[in-house]
A and B are shown apart, each in its own frame.
Chain A
């Protein structure tokens, strides 16, 4: 019973990590067809802003919000300066964002130094069935689920969501109906960057803050987006659930690294079976 509970916690923890790693990347890819290789650097940016603000004495939730906000603003600026010129050239945009990632990582290393002092993990642990679980990580699972719900509402209930989905479906038609598609793309890229910043802020108390920390999230984010396909809700979420179980099982069997290797093997095998990702497969099944 205790080990079952433990496994359930592991799965939930992996699921949260995968969802939070991938959300920003998935929103930008799903809406704009651009893979943002600077995704990890937005996460790093969010984490750095979060610890800096938290060390000023502000409460952690405020600090995390600041991290997301700063990452989002940088995202919008970047979209205006670089990404805007590369729509319709997905391969070039991925290469350009890699250049940005190099500049950001090494620039941070030069300006900030090799590491920032972190902040402690808030809350303690709860004891359940003989094992103790850190409350903060349980909270992260809840936040991951809540974020998925919030994004669903954002894209399906608000005016921005409707306009954004219209822009994705038929950009010229949306433009003809008076939608400023350029602004929609800017906001969407900013949203993706802000989500990445939020992830950085959320995980900041649990990690060491170094300029290359974005790389820690990168592989998990790629795996989830490749398996998920273009739709955040019927792609990313189920992909994260499946991969979360794979990763948790492999990790509890042989440790962290084997968990990642299993993740990669699962991705390559699933790509062979479902070339268009979970969402492509589900959409095909549906009609």
Chain B
């Protein structure tokens, strides 16, 4: 089973890659010791988004199904976490259960939506605009829930201002629950989760499932002729990827203790596309690296105003598609590998 950690569907193999991986992991593990609490919390914020990016990488990069609506699952799960923890409190580690339940909610919604889309066999372009419509309608729906009649139990949805003041994640412990504020504790939890998800996805895409998924991306008709049910494979990838978007949403909500409808809006929906396209959508590692770099760059630019940052994001997206369609991280690495090992590209 461990052999699946490297294979034809992922860049990076052999001793050098894994040495680098362990070094990176070591740096990431030691990092909180050397920086202040704010930077640690901010890094957790970056990590929170990576799950959504990896999910989109699976759906779009490996499955070839362009979903523009991952933020719908992000928001749904975020609101789910908010409602559950506001209604049932945080005692006895319930927040962890709430996290799982909200991810499950996102996955269930993705399964329902995906059933109609993939079993309706709608083509790539339409899939993009239908999922985008879904997230836009979710945003508009949540924006108008300002009145007191919009509540789930004791949790008010608060319309455009969104929900806030829900409890952060807590770990049940014998001497009283440990509350994970965005600091070192949460950092290690999210880092561990991230490593786990990354390695699990590597194994998934190098398994039989991943190979079939890539075959479908390359040529759906041929995959179908070979006897694979294209619809089921794409639906499965969509549900897994959307559950990861949901994980991002619930983690984000517990991190900042707020969630607003604009997290499902047009600008929010564009950002995952930018991260994944710029990093290189055909590879998990490239997506991971690209997402972190673009997020850090975006935040640095936001100092000058978020509208300037979004203009740069748009320009970056257009430039990537025109000049380096395989991604700014994955493209050069692939070219390098091809030169070093002629004949065995990728």
Contacts and interface: CB of A to CB of B under 8 A. Distances in A.
Are chains A and B native binding partners rather than an unrelated pairing?
Answer: yes
B129 A102 contact: no
Contacts of B7: none
A146 interface: no
B325 A272 contact: no
Contact of B314 (A90, A106, A271, A273): A106
A223 B310 contact: no
A121 B318 CA distance: 38
A92 B318 contact: no
Nearest to B269: A98
A222 B322 contact: no
B130 A92 contact: no
A132 to B, nearest CB: 27
Q: Is the interface of B mostly helix, strand, loop or mixed?
A: helix
Contact of A96 (B141, B270, B318): B318
Interface in B98-144: 113, 116-117, 119-122, 124-126, 128-130, 132-134, 136-137, 140-141, 144
What's the interface size class on B, roughly?
35 or more
B315 interface: yes
Contacts of A35: 125, 128-129
A230 to B, nearest CB: 11
B204 interface: no
Contact of B137 (A91, A99, A261): A261
A223 B136 CA distance: 12
A110 B307 contact: yes
Interface residues of A, number: 45
Interface in A3-58: 29, 33, 35, 37
B267 interface: yes
B307 to A, nearest CB: 4
Nearest to B266: A215
B137 to A, nearest CB: 5
Interface stretch (A62-70, A171-179, A194-202, A262-270): A262-270
A109 interface: yes
B277 interface: yes
Nearest to A103: B314
Contact of B120 (A101, A102, A271): A271
Given A102-B313, A268-B116, 16 more contacts: A33-B125, A35-B128, A82-B318, A86-B322, A95-B321, A99-B316, A99-B318, A103-B314, A105-B267, A110-B308, A215-B266, A218-B136, A222-B130, A226-B129, A268-B113, A271-B130
15 contacts: A37-B129, A90-B124, A94-B128, A95-B273, A95-B277, A100-B314, A102-B270, A102-B313, A105-B310, A107-B311, A223-B133, A226-B126, A260-B137, A260-B140, A268-B113
Interface of B: 66, 68, 113, 116-117, 119-122, 124-126, 128-130, 132-134, 136-137, 140-141, 144, 266-267, 270, 273-274, 277, 305, 307-308, 310-311, 313-318, 321-322, 325
